[in-house]
Amino acid sequence: MNRDKVTVGQFSLLTLLVISGSKFLSLPSKLAETVGHDGWLVLVVAFLWDFVCLAFLAWAIKLNQQHHLPLDKILRTTLSPIVEKAVHVVFFVMFVCRSVVLLNSCYRMFAVTFDVSTNWVMFVLPIVAVAFFAIARGFNSIARMGQLMCAVIVLCIVALLSFTIRQTDFGGIFPIAEAGVSNIIKATFEHSYWFSDYVFVYYIFEHIQVKKRVFTPIFTSFAVGVVLTVAMNVIFVALFGSIAPEIKLAMSKISVFSVAEITNGRWDWLTLSVWIMSVLVKIVIFIYCAYKCGEKLFGLHFSKPNVWMILAIALLLMLPLFVPAENIAQDFMDKLLVPFALVQYLLPISLPLLMTLANKKLNTGVQK
Amino acid sequence: MSSLKRIGVILLVAIVLIAMSTSFVSNDILNRAIIIGLGLDLSEDNQLVVTAEVVSPGNGSEQVGTFSKTITVTGQTIAHAIQQISQQMGKEASLGQCALLVLGKSLYTKVDFSQIVDFFIHSYNFKESSAICCAKGEAKELLNYGEAMSQSASLAVIAMLQQQSQSVGLPTNSLLQYARSQKELSCTGFTNYVEFVPSANTDSQNPNKTQGYFAYKKLVVFRKNKFVCTLDEQHLRALSLLTEDVSGEVFIVEVQGEKLTFIVSKKKVDLKIVDQTVQVDVQLKCRLARTDDFGLSGNLTVQTDEDIPQDVLDKLQLDAKKLLQDFVAFQQQNNVDLMGLHERYRQKLGTNNFTSSFAMDQIAFDISVTVKQN
């Protein structure tokens, strides 16, 4: 039995979860710092790029149903083993960096919103343990979990949005594109690191199974994720205006506007604690992908989870003990932004072509 | 998995769980000083005097029925003062549930308190949706009126400012709105002005006990967190008329020797910018005030069948227009923008020198008021 098997429907729901799983934390304030109240336009432009890439990816998924080729084999056959390794290196660094940044945001959110104080090691280890379990059980376990939780998480995001809307003056987002189109596009590129959340697909590519439709479920989930994320950002900039750059954890601050000041219940805690599950799912997916990257980088395949590999990833996740998590993300953006952007945007667009070439080459090889 | 391995895994999980549980810092509620209101004053030697109203969980030694108590500390900065609260109470000062900031007269009339506002805005825990207000005298004094109100002083103020204000014609600001107003464009904004009004003692068992209520008849205007002026009751009414989500303003009209009271139950405010002229169009729907219809206002209020004569409606219209004209003249005279005109211009023209710094008397106003029966 293939434990990594994922249906298109499950992949679509996971895409929706990962899109809404991180962009409500530190990204809104970073965008507000760069382009003011036009932060939401950066999201729109970035998501347009993502949509194009996702369309090519969906096409590639459809094409791959015949041969179920993994990404590493496609790259090795069509380009070269060096390119394949380089792609894995970029992805590995990206997955580790993003996991660190997400963990750091979650850690702060737990501390400030839920008043849970612990140390970094004890915060990270249980999440790594869940990732270890997911690796042992296969990606299907994550997909099933996402399937179960998606509706509840989306409902909680909608609830958080709808309660905050009453307090928001949407006039604050005008004039639209005040920062200038070129600055918005520049900011989109500079923050591209935060997008293309579907990149985890490369590590389950050969396991995705199409039953009926490919494009409809993927595009629908993506559209829902985009609408929720953009709406949240619009509310954020309209609500906080010029002080938005100073609000480092958007979601935990937006949510306080969903409760009256002296009510007994904390509705925001309920919705937040459900929503944060999507961040945890995203972290688990990224740790899973980092593990798979490691396997492919060293040309290994473990039938059982390799403890040393997981330990190595866990150690990398301890980096914030020595370096601020924000610096890790910044270093990634400074040093690997262009290679990552190449992989992020060129790889999905060229994947259908690479797949066709790989199939031809492999078929020719078999015939000979 | 062999039995030995299973036992090993269970042992490992148990050890990890024990390690985890001991690493979590326990947060016993009795070890926390849950602050629900903070008062800020300035001492004569320019030290910050912070009064915190702290929820009292009421352990065995405390008086039954005690809800809260206040503690006053002095610090060089706000962070220092809050640290002092923790030290003096022997409990961690928790700001997560604080819903009120009271600025004492000694503070807001003397110094620029930007650093204090920034401290709360930058705080992860403090809610930006909290209310902010100015006290007539010392903030410490205001927060100590809990006994006179027979409830927490902070909660009494918050209940009025954030829950009942919309139906009694009282414009209010949250900390977020106030902080934004001090940083954006005209850098002008307001906070509510709260004073304690003593009333006759009706408690025969405690003849010396102070009794009274909080009054909210004025607003205090600030520019860049420095005191500018105080708005009186008339200007407060005008500002209320211009605030669409607030209703309940009262007008008194004399008809054939009889004084009739009318309440605004619905309104529509339209602010348009045409060239250098601001067109203010206020449409009011009024009804005759009755004893039992307090709070019956808002856009979903039902129509009444009482017939208000046209000449009365005309009088109401004149009164309202006069109120608004005076308010605009006051803003031009003091160069304060309480109508959000700089923001309106910014939304139309973008951020530039003009939208950031135009004086109020550079703008012409065209005010029109229509009054209809609800």
- Which fold is adopted by the domain A6-351? Amino acid/polyamine transporter I (1.20.1740)
Question: DSSP letter string over B51-66?
Answer: EEEEE----TTSPTT-
Burial state string for A258-283 with b = 16 or more CB within 10 A and e = fewer than 16: bbebbeeebebeebbebbbbbbbbbb
Within A114-138, residue ranges assigned H as helices are 120-137
pLDDT at A249: 85
CA angle (B101 as vertex; B169, B199 as ends), nearest 5: 60
Cβ atoms of residues B136 and B194 within 8 Å: yes
Distance from CA of B129 to the nearest CA of A (A): 6
Top pLDDT among A265 and B333 is at B333
* Inter-residue long-range contacts of B355-358, CB under 8 Å, 24+ positions, other chains counted: B355/B185, B356/B185, B356/B186, B357/B186
**pLDDT tops 70 at residue B225:** yes
Contacts of B180 in chain A (CB under 8 A): 240-243
Cβ–Cβ of A126/B130 closer than 8 Å?
no
Residues 6+ apart with CB under 8 A from B77: B48, B115, B119
The residue ranking higher by pLDDT, A360 or A117, is A360
Share of residues in chain B with pLDDT > 90 (%): 51
pLDDT at residue B287 greater than cutoff 90: no
The number of beta carbons lying within 10 Å of the beta carbon of residue B98 is 25
Pair A11, A147: CB distance under 8 Å: no
In terms of Cβ atoms closer than 10 Å to its own Cβ (0-12, 13-18, 19+), residue A324 is: exposed
Task: Give the C-alpha distances (Å, rounded to integers) separating B221 from A220, B149, B180, B280.
Answer: 50, 27, 14, 22
Of the listed ranges A17-31, A107-121, B189-203, the one predicted with least confidence: A107-121
**Residue range B344-369, pLDDT digits in tens:** 999 999 989 999 889 999 999 999 99
Is the Cβ pair A171, B347 closer than 8 Å? yes
Phi-psi region of A117 (alpha: psi -120 to 50; beta: other; left: phi over 0): beta
Nearest to A174 among B127, B159, B347 (CB): B347
Q: Which residue from A122, A175, A253 is facing B128, i.e. has the nearest CB?
A: A253
On whether the CB atoms of residues A99 and A127 are closer than 8 A, the answer is no
Q: Give the amino acid at A245.
A: P
Q: At how many degrees (to 10) do helices B3-23 and A120-137 cross?
A: 150
Contact A175 B180 (CB under 8 A): no
Looking at every residue in chain B, the average pLDDT score rounds to 86
Question: Based on the number of CB atoms within 10 Å of its own CB, is A108 exposed (0-12), middle (13-18) or buried (19 or more)?
Answer: middle
Pairing of strands B68-75, B364-373: unpaired
Give the lowest-confidence range in A301-305, B40-44, B184-188, B330-334: A301-305
Q: Are A103 and A124 in contact (CB under 8 A)?
A: yes
Query: What's the pTM value of the predicted model, to 2 decimals?
Result: 0.88
In the predicted structure, residue A54 carries a pLDDT above the cut 60: yes
The answer, for A175 touching chain B at a CB cutoff of 8 Å, is yes
Task: Label residue B297 by pLDDT band (50, 70, 90).
Answer: low
- Are B347 and A241 inside 8 Å of each other by CB? no
Residue B200, pLDDT score: 83
Both tokens of B268, joined, read: 């529509």
A264 touches chain B (CB under 8 A): no
Q: Do A112 and B124 touch (CB under 8 A)?
A: yes
Whole-number pLDDT of residue B72: 96
Which stretches does DSSP call E strand in B63-210?
68-75, 92-94, 100-103, 131-135, 188-199
| Residue in B38, B108, B116 with CA at minimum distance from that of residue B79 | B116
Question: CB–CB of B159 and A262 under 8 A?
Answer: yes
Q: Is the pLDDT of residue B81 over 60?
A: yes
Residue B312 has pLDDT above 50, yes or no: yes
Partner B contacted by A265 (CB < 8 A)? no
* Chain A touched by B89 (CB under 8 Å): no
Q: Does A263 touch chain B (CB under 8 A)?
A: no
pLDDT average, residue stretch B218-231: 95
Is B271 touching A (CB cutoff 8 A)? no
Whether B347 and A175 lie within 8 Å, measured CB to CB: yes
Residue A261 clears pLDDT 60, i.e. is over it? no
Please, which pLDDT band fits residue A293 given cuts at 50, 70 and 90? very high
Question: Chain A, 33-62: which have a CB under 8 Å from a chain B CB?
Answer: none
Mean pLDDT of B69-88: 94
Is A118 in contact with B130 (Cβ distance < 8 A)?
Answer: no
Query: Is residue B219 classed as helix, strand or coil in its secondary structure?
Result: strand
B312: which 2 tokens? Answer: 């009365």
Confidence of residue A284 (pLDDT cuts 50, 70, 90): very high
Tokens of B5: 């391995």
- Which residue of B25, B98, B187 is the best one to mutate when testing the A interface, meaning the one whose CB has the most A CBs within 10 A? B25
pLDDT reported for residue B22: 65
Tell me whether B183 touches chain A (CB under 8 Å): yes
Nearest residue to A45 via CA among A176, A231, A181: A181
- Asked if omega into B57 is within 30° of 0 (cis), the reply is no
Name residue B347's beta-bridge partners: none
Residues of A in contact with B184 (CB under 8 A): 241-242
Give pLDDT tens digits for B229-282.
999 889 999 999 999 888 888 899 888 888 888 888 888 999 999 878 999 999
Span B318-329, pLDDT tens digits: 999 999 999 999
With CA atoms as reference, report the closest residue to A244 among B122, B263, B175, B116: B122
**Partners of B368 in beta bridges:** B281
Q: Do residues B209 and B234 lie in contact, with contact meaning Cβ atoms separated by under 8 Å?
A: no
> Residues A334-350: pLDDT tens digits?
888 888 888 889 999 99
In this predicted structure, the answer to whether residue B60 has a pLDDT above a threshold of 50 is no
Q: Please give, rounded to a whole number of angstroms, the shortest distance from the CA of B98 to a CA of chain A.
A: 9
In degrees and rounded to multiples of 5, residue B199 shows phi and psi of -125, 170
Closest to B131 (Cβ–Cβ): which among A121, A178, A261? Answer: A261
Number of Cβ atoms within 10 Å of the Cβ of A307: 11
Interchain contact B293–A (C-beta under 8 A): no
Give me the percent of chain B exceeding a pLDDT of 70. Answer: 89
What value does the mean pLDDT take over residues B74-91?
93
More confident site: A363 or B110: B110
Is B91 near chain A, with CB under 8 Å? no
Instruction: Using the structure block, give the residue that is written with the tokens 């395949």.
Output: A301
- In the block, tokens 């009365």 appear at B312
Q: What is the C-alpha separation between B284 and B267, in angstroms, rounded? A: 5
The arithmetic mean of pLDDT across residues A257-262, rounded, is 58
Q: Please, which residues have CB within 8 angstroms of residue B313's CB and are 6 or more apart in sequence?
A: B286, B371, B372, B373
pLDDT at B314: 92
Query: Which band of pLDDT confidence, cut at 50, 70 and 90, is reported for residue B27?
Result: low
Domains of chain B: 31-231 (no CATH), 248-374 (3.30.300.210)
Do residues B28 and B96 make contact, with C-beta atoms less than 8 angstroms apart? no
**Distance between B30 CA and the closest CA of chain A, angstroms:** 15
| Higher per-residue pLDDT: B225 or B301 | B225
Provide the pLDDT for residue B300.
63
What value does the mean pLDDT take over residues B157-180? 85
User: Do residues B216 and B170 lie in contact, with contact meaning Cβ atoms separated by under 8 Å?
Assistant: yes
Residue in this structure with the two tokens 């006053």, named with its chain if needed = B72
pLDDT cut 90: percent of chain A above it: 64
Domain borders along chain A are: 6-351
CB contact at 8 A, A257 and A167: yes
Is the pLDDT reported for residue A13 higher than 90?
yes
Is residue A177 less than 8 Å (CB to CB) from chain B?
A: no
User: What per-residue confidence (pLDDT) applies to B57?
Assistant: 58
- Taking the Cβ of residue B115 and every Cβ of chain A, the question of whether any pair is shorter than 8 Å is answered with no
> Measured on CA atoms in the order B308, B314, B316, B320, is the torsion positive or negative?
positive
B-chain residues within 8 Å CB-CB of A118?
20, 23-25
* Interchain CB contacts (distance < 8 Å): A and B: 83
At A205, the amino acid letter reads F
- A219 has pLDDT over 90: yes
- Chain B: residue whose CA lies nearest to A174: B347
In the prediction, which pLDDT does A338 show? Answer: 84
Closest alpha carbon to B228 in B272, B182, B269, B263: B182
Reading the block at residue B89, the tokens are: 């109470």
Residues B326, B84: Cα–Cα separation, whole Å:
47
Q: Please provide the size of chain B in residues.
A: 374
Nearest to A246 among B24, B122, B162 (CB): B122
Q: A132-146: buried (b, 16+ CB within 10 Å) or exposed (e) per residue?
A: bebbeebbbbbbebb
CA distance B263 to chain A (A): 25
